[in-house]
Amino acid sequence: MKKKISDYRNEIDIIDLSILKLIENRCEAVRLIGKMKNENSLPVYVPSRENQIFSELIKHKKILSEENIKAIFTEIISSCRALEKKIKVLSYKIQNDAVIPKIFGNAIDIFKVFNIKSLENIFNNYDYIVIENSDFKNNNFFILNFKVISIVIIFEIEYYIIKLNLEEL
């Protein structure tokens, strides 16, 4: 007997429930890690760990593209990370609204500024600043206590992710 669309949809519903259960298990593990990070003053966002996760997953891909795997897992990681702490990201002069979520996922707070005076007055209220390479180099960046923790290329443009709260480094 030939399967109907409804049969495949029922299979998908069962798979979706399994995926949700696995994500919930992941969330529990993240909560425990988050407690340990907090006790040891470790940062919530660790780009090298996320890159390690992506690399391992991509090794096992069969159907999905690398870009799809990164998109799916960026959101899973972002949602899990928000259980530890919802990070606050300052977007400096970035016109494309897709850049910040492509780096951090959507489970974050984003604030956009477009001039240096605005940035000087508020940057201490945020966990990270994301700034385009050309703006970073052209402004001889004014923040004294910062560390570039990651450099990413999105849509063929290089961006610096800057950590502002140095006691977490």
- Asked, for residue 8, whether it belongs to a domain, the answer is no
| 61 pLDDT higher than 90 | yes
Which residue is associated with the tokens 């593990």? 29
- Asked, for residue 12, whether it belongs to a domain, the answer is no
Confidence of residue 169 (pLDDT cuts 50, 70, 90): very low
pLDDT tens-digit profile of 78-87?
A: 999 999 999 9
The domain total for the chain is 1
- Asked, for residue 15, whether it belongs to a domain, the answer is no
Q: Which domain holds residue 109?
A: 43-168
- Asked, for residue 38, whether it belongs to a domain, the answer is no
User: How would you write the chain as a 3-class SS string?
Assistant: CCCCHHHHHHHHHHHHHHHHHHHHHHHHHHHHHHHHHHHCCCCCCCHHHHHHHHHHHHHCCCCCCHHHHHHHHHHHHHHHHHHHCCCEEEEECCCCCCHHHHHHCCCCEEEEECCHHHHHHHHHHCCEEEEEHHHHHHCCCCCCCCEEEEEEEECCEEEEEEECCHHHC
Strand partners, 90: 111, 129
- The Cβ of residue 115 has, within 10 Å, a number of other Cβ atoms equal to 9
- Asked, for residue 162, whether it belongs to a domain, the answer is yes
CATH number of the CATH domain containing 113? 3.40.190
Stretch 2-14: mean pLDDT:
96
| 51 pLDDT higher than 50 | yes
Residue 32 structure tokens: 């425990």
- Asked, for residue 19, whether it belongs to a domain, the answer is no
- Asked, for residue 155, whether it belongs to a domain, the answer is yes
| 31 pLDDT higher than 50 | yes
In angstroms, the Cα distances linking 140 to 20, 90, 133, 134 are 46, 18, 11, 10
Are 123 and 166 a contacting pair, CB within 8 Å?
no
- Asked, for residue 37, whether it belongs to a domain, the answer is no
Q: What is d(CA 105, CA 100) in angstroms, rounded to the nearest whole number?
A: 7
What percent of the chain has a predicted confidence (pLDDT) above 90? 59
Confidence of residue 59 (pLDDT cuts 50, 70, 90): very high
